[in-house]
Amino acid sequence: MMGFDVQDIFAVFTAVAVVASILAAAMPFLENDKLGQRMKEVANERERIRKRERAILNSGTDGRISLRQEPKELITNIVDRFKMRDAFTDKETRKKLKQAGYRLEKHVMTYTFARIVGPMAGFAIAAFYIFLVAKPDYPPMVKLFLSLLFAYACYYAPILYLQNQRSKRQASITKAWPDALDLLLICVEAGMTAESGFQKVAAEIGTASVELAEELTILTAELSYLQDRRTAYENIAERTGMEGVRAVMTSLIQAERYGTPLGDAIRVMAEENRALRLTAAEKKAAALPPKLTVPMILFFLPAIFIIVLGPIAVQYFTTH
């Protein structure tokens, strides 16, 4: 067996470094334009709002006209066949889907489809693997129980995924919300209207939070096309599900209703939200010592004991 000399090892490390440099330089070009993609979806949503409100005005009625994208026919047929259209998507579930960024009817159908087909597919895959592939030395009832347990996990997997997406979206909005209020305050004090201010903030805050830029863009569209501005403010509070956003929108509603200056209300709410963000950071910092106790006991203390007592133990065993 031939060994590697120094030149071969140096050549391998050089090749790895060159490949890593090329990948690092090309990575920004290979990544998807997340902000551009989300803004394109928001533009489509704005166009749907415009068409819907125009249709309502032309018809002279107050009914809601659905211009949402229809879900795929296969998913719709399966959901309707099992008569589960409203079983997993009540009002609260639809609200959570909106708060996670899934506001179209196709998203509701996909979620319902995953709740229906997921357990069936999970049970079939688990049973096939346990009974035909792995064949563990378990009784048949235990194998069946394991298959049902995996199907149960697949049943709740969409719920966990939805909660995770909702938490990530709210965390992103919470992080950038005080900065957005500061930008909005500057725009309002410069003489801009609320619509122009939100539109400007949405364009600037996209680098910090794509989710917040998306919500503010939809808010701008609703302020432009809805007959009642109060509805637009209430919609963004419902879509985000955050008390900070709800409090700001309530202040804006009251400011427009009673004619108080918007700048004063936005300034107060910006200070409150910044204080809340600082308080949340302090809570996380205060929670670190208890969380670090177990890792220190498991990893740091044994290493300290080995360093301190190791030489003494070696000396003792060598002399006796």
**Residues in Cβ contact with 47 at an 8 Å cutoff, skipping those fewer than 6 apart:** none
Domain that holds residue 255: 172-283
Q: Are residues 125 and 196 in the same domain?
A: no
Q: What is the pTM of this model?
A: 0.68
Structural domain ending residue among the three candidates 145, 170, 195: 170
Residue 293 in domain: no
Residue with tokens 């133990």: 313
pLDDT tens for each residue of 207-264: 888 899 989 988 988 888 888 889 999 999 999 988 889 989 998 898 888 888 888 8
Q: Are residues 125 and 226 in the same domain?
A: no
Structural domain ending residue among the three candidates 155, 170, 185: 170
**Residues in Cβ contact with 34 at an 8 Å cutoff, skipping those fewer than 6 apart:** 210
Residue 308 in domain: no
Looking at residue 162, its pLDDT comes to 92
What does the alpha-carbon distance between residue 172 and residue 207 come to, in Å, rounded to a whole number? 11
Residue 267 in domain: yes
Residue 257 in domain: yes
What does the alpha-carbon distance between residue 229 and residue 195 come to, in Å, rounded to a whole number? 10
Structural domain ending residue among the three candidates 170, 189, 204: 170
What does the alpha-carbon distance between residue 117 and residue 108 come to, in Å, rounded to a whole number? 14
Question: Quick check: 210 and 101 in contact, CB under 8 A?
Answer: no
Number of domains in the chain: 2
Looking at residue 153, its pLDDT comes to 92
Looking at residue 28, its pLDDT comes to 57
Q: Are residues 176 and 218 in the same domain?
A: yes
pLDDT tens for each residue of 153-188: 999 999 999 999 999 999 999 889 989 999 999 998
Query: What tokens were used for 169?
Result: 């979206």
Q: Are residues 185 and 265 in the same domain?
A: yes
Q: Are residues 154 and 256 in the same domain?
A: no
Looking at residue 288, its pLDDT comes to 85
Q: Are residues 199 and 254 in the same domain?
A: yes
Residue 235 in domain: yes
Q: Are residues 187 and 238 in the same domain?
A: yes
What does the alpha-carbon distance between residue 319 and residue 235 come to, in Å, rounded to a whole number? 80
Ranges under pLDDT 50 in the chain: 1-2, 4, 60-71
Q: Are residues 122 and 198 in the same domain?
A: no
Residue 278 in domain: yes
What does the alpha-carbon distance between residue 273 and residue 92 come to, in Å, rounded to a whole number? 26
What does the alpha-carbon distance between residue 151 and residue 93 come to, in Å, rounded to a whole number? 21
Q: Are residues 165 and 223 in the same domain?
A: no
Q: Are residues 202 and 216 in the same domain?
A: yes
Q: Are residues 215 and 199 in the same domain?
A: yes
Q: Are residues 149 and 77 in the same domain?
A: yes
| CA dist list (Å): 244 to 86, 172, 250, 313 | 31, 13, 10, 60
